């Protein structure tokens, strides 16, 4: 799963509103910290579980208002 989270955040930056990534961070904070992931420090090497990736992708899609590409 390395790099997938990074792609989601990049997609959000490109397609979302100002502050959408900040909103995502607060919405999924308990889940990301369970896997010791800090969304502000995600790199292409950051790995996460498929469950978390799916949750973050869903939240990103909802915030941006369009489906986040897999």
Q: Which residues bind another protein (CB under 8 A)?
A: 17-19, 22-23, 25-27, 29-30, 33, 38, 40
Distance in Å, CB of 70 to another protein, minimum:
24
Sign of CA dihedral 52, 53, 57, 63: positive
* 45 C-beta neighbours (distance < 10 Å), count: 8
State which residue, 7 or 27, has the beta carbon closest to another protein. Answer: 27
Please name which of 2, 11, 5, 3 lies closest in space to residue 54, comparing C-alpha atoms: 5
State which residue, 2 or 33, has the beta carbon closest to another protein. Answer: 33
State which residue, 19 or 50, has the beta carbon closest to another protein. Answer: 19
């Amino acid at each position: 799963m390395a790099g997938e989270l990074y792609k989601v955040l990049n997609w959000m930056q490109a397609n979302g509103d100002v502050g959408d990534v900040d909103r995502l961070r607060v919405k999924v904070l308990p889940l990301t910290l369970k896997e010791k992931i800090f969304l502000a420090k995600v790199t292409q090497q950051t790995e996460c579980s498929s469950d978390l990736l799916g949750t973050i992708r869903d939240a990103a899609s909802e915030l941006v208002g369009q489906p986040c590409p897999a």
